[in-house]
Amino acid sequence: MPETNRRQLLKALGITTVGLAAVSSDAWAEDRVMAAAVHHHLDSQEAAPIPPHDKFFQGRELASVERLTDLILPSDGSPGAKDANVAAFLDFYLAGSPPSAQSPFRAGLKALDAAASAKSGKAFSDLAPAQQQELLEAIWPPKSSGDLRAFLMNARRLTVFAFYTSKIGVKELGYAGNTYASEFPGACTHQHEL
């Protein structure tokens, strides 16, 4: 898929994802955590460091997530996941999420490491960048199944969501916020009788 089409698709997914809520037994709790994470993520884009919080990612997991999100949404002349601190957002988001969101993500990271180990004898974060790209191309849905497939789909959804709710992503969308429009080009200009 050409890069411009891919980026346009990710933009559309980002716009759509912002408006959708996850449906699960813990949907309300997940929505509150997501809302808090979004507000934090938007605030942290200036210069503020991420506030102290319980860390979700352990050991090499953060390195794996940083690389995975960068492969999902690379910096390719326009901002990518790394520029928007997507991995830090996911750490913040998952640390406050219920176990129903945490467990599948952690299982997916283990499945990703298992796939990397089966192919090369190393964990995903220990692979060279070219090997990581090659592995993802080999296992990307629909080529994968089970925990790995669910994880990759969720990782892509969360990466796009995190990117397009960051200041960098909002700017990339061209969203100007609640602004006053003094003109409406293309709108009806004749007078209507009431």
pLDDT in tens, 99-142: 999 999 999 999 999 999 999 999 999 999 999 999 999 998 88
Q: Which residues are CB-contacts of 158 (< 8 A; sequence separation ≥ 6)?
A: 90, 93
Helix (H, G, I), strand (E, B) or coil at 111: helix
Per cent of the chain over pLDDT 70 is 71
CA 97/CA 26 separation, integer angstroms = 9
> Which of the given ranges, 5-9, 10-14, 15-19, 178-182, has the highest pLDDT on average?
178-182
Give a yes or no: residue 183 inside a domain.
no
Give a yes or no: residue 47 inside a domain.
yes
pLDDT in tens, 51-61: 555 689 988 89
Give a yes or no: residue 143 inside a domain.
yes
Q: What is the pTM of this model?
A: 0.69
Mean pLDDT, the chain, integer: 79
**Structural domain total, the chain:** 1
Give a yes or no: residue 194 inside a domain.
no
Structural domain for 85, as ranges: 3-173
b/e sequence 136-160, b meaning 16+ C-beta within 10 Å:
beebbeeebeebbbbbbeebbebbb
Give a yes or no: residue 192 inside a domain.
no
Helix (H, G, I), strand (E, B) or coil at 25: coil
Q: In which residue are the tokens 């490491």 written?
A: 113
